Amino acid sequence: MLNEKVSKLINEQINKEMFSAYLYLDMSNYYINKGLTGFANWYNIQAKEEMDHAIIFITYLQNNNFEVVLEAIAKPTIDYADNKAPIKESLKHEQFVTASINAIFSAAVTVNDFRTQQFLQWFIREQGEEEKNVTELLVKYDWAKESLYLLDKELLARVYTPATFVF
């Protein structure tokens, strides 16, 4: 039997993971609308991973005889100012999720719930990965802009050569 507070926090975490999926689908939609299908694909996969996380939390509770309650998923409401904004927003969101998982772990420590502590190890590692991946994407984004700058410079270097037309 899991501790009541710990179970409740895990049940709430299910909603946070499902919201994450929704948020990333929204970002994927944003990029589709911008014609950036690679970015859209990246966020679509991100959304699928979040649904996996939700299922893992559900299964854990069910394996411990807890009756899972699914709450409504909030509508993502962020308007993105530019193409980099969703990436910055997703880093902020992952940091929020990390804090949330840490809070569950902390509650499990307080009540000597060793089973949940062990279960959460995977998520603690996963959050490290998630934050690393998004941080790298932010760096790559700036490099890509750099490439655009290089391409722009290359195009600027084009010189006019008068046509040599022989009739």
- What is the smallest separation between the CB atom of 160 and ligand FEO, expressed in angstroms? 52
94 binds ligand FEO (CB under 6 A): yes
Contact positions with ligand FEO (CB under 6 A) in 3-32:
17, 20
68: Cβ contacts below 8 Å, ≥ 6 apart: 11, 14, 58, 61, 62
Task: Determine the residue with CB nearest ligand FEO.
Answer: 53
Q: Out of 19, 26, 43, 53, name the contact with ligand FEO by CB under 6 A.
A: 53
Q: For 96-109, give one letter per residue: b (16+ CB within 10 A) or e.
A: ebbebbeebbebbe
Answer for which of 23, 50, 61, 116 binds ligand FEO (CB under 6 A) is: 50
Q: For 48, phi and psi rounded to 5 degrees?
A: -65, -40
Residue 113 interacting with ligand FEO (CB under 6 A)? no
Q: What kind and span of H or E run contains 9?
A: helix 4-34
Stated as kind and residue range, the H or E segment containing 60 is helix 37-63
Alpha-carbon torsion (50, 55, 61, 63), positive or negative: negative
Closest approach, Cβ 53 to ligand FEO, in A, equals 4
Least distance in Å: CB of 153 to ligand FEO?
37
Q: Give contact residues for ligand FEO (rule: CB under 6 A).
A: 17, 20, 50, 53, 94, 97, 130
